[in-house]
Structure 1
Amino acid sequence: MEADAQKIDTKTASAKEGGKLCKRCKHSYNPSSNTPNSCRFHPSFFVCRRHDDQKRYYELGEDDPPYAAKFYDCCGAEDPNAPGCTTALHVSFDDVD
C-alpha cells in the first residue's frame, strides 16, 4: 500500500515538473507528445460478481462462493494489474469532460 502511494507521489511530482497527470492511467505525460495510443486503461471497473456467460475460469479462494468471480467488466481480465484493454489520448484532471 505504501509503495502504491509512493508511485502516485512520484507520478504527481513528475506532472508538476512540466507534464500533466492522466486521470485514466495515473501516469504523467507531456501534452505535446499526447497521441491517440498514449494512454492504456480499462474503461470499466474491476468487479466481483457472477459473469453472464460463466464460460471463463476464475481463481476463487476456498471460502469464496461461486459467484465471487473477480474481473474487469470491460474485457474479462482477471488480474487487477492487467494492462488496460483500451488506448486513447491521455486526459488530465484539468481537462473539461
Structure 2
Amino acid sequence: MGHPVELWRFPDRTTSVGQMISAYLTNKSQLDDHTIHLLFSANRWEKRSMMETKLKAGTTLIVDRYSYSGVAFSSAKGLDFEWCKAPEIGLIAPDLVLYLDITPEKAAERGGYGGERYEQLEFQKKVAQRYKLLEDSSWKFDPLLNHPRACRFHTAHFGGETKRKFESVYAGGTMDTPDSGKVFQYWHCCGSEDPFDPGCTAAPHASYDD
C-alpha cells in the first residue's frame, strides 16, 4: 500500500501572483527588488493553507524551492538578510532540507540554462554564498556528492522519528507519515540572529560525525 506524496514547485506560476513572477523572470516586466521579493513570498503564502491541510492529512510534500531560495536570491542582490527572512515568518517550515551542493559552473551545464533573469553565472555564485549562511539543523547535504560537512537535521520534532525515517530512506526503506501530524513554522530552530551561529534553542542537534 502506497503513501500519498506530492511534488510542489515554487514559484507556482499558475496563480495570478505566480504569473507576475513569471513575467519578471522571463524579462517581460521590470520590478523593484523589494517588490519581487514580496511577490515570491506571497506566492508561498497563497499555498500555505493547502499545504497545512495536506500535511495534517498525512500527505508528504516534496517542495522544489521554498523560503530558503527566496532569502538566498534576494539577499544576493544586496537586500538586508533579516529583512528578506521577515515575510517568511509563519510559513510552514520543512522537516528536512536536501541541498544539492554543486558549483554554479556545474549547474550552468544543464539544458536551457540562461533563459531567465537569474540564470547568470556571477549572480549564481553570490546566491550559493548566501545559501551557506542559511544552513541550519534541518539541512541534509546530498551524500552522493561526498560533502565534507556534517549531515545535520532535527531529531526532536517527532521524538527522534525524523532521524530514523530519514536513515531508512537511504538504507532503501520507505518514509512513513509521522503520527503526530504536527507542522512547524519559520524560523523554528535556531534562535540566534547570527547566521553563522550553529546553536539551537528549540531542539537538540544530531549529526553523523558527532
TM-score (norm 2): 0.17
| Structure with greater strand percent | 1
TM-score (norm 1): 0.29
| Structure with greater helix percent | 2
Larger relative contact order (C-alpha < 8 A, sep ≥ 6)?
1
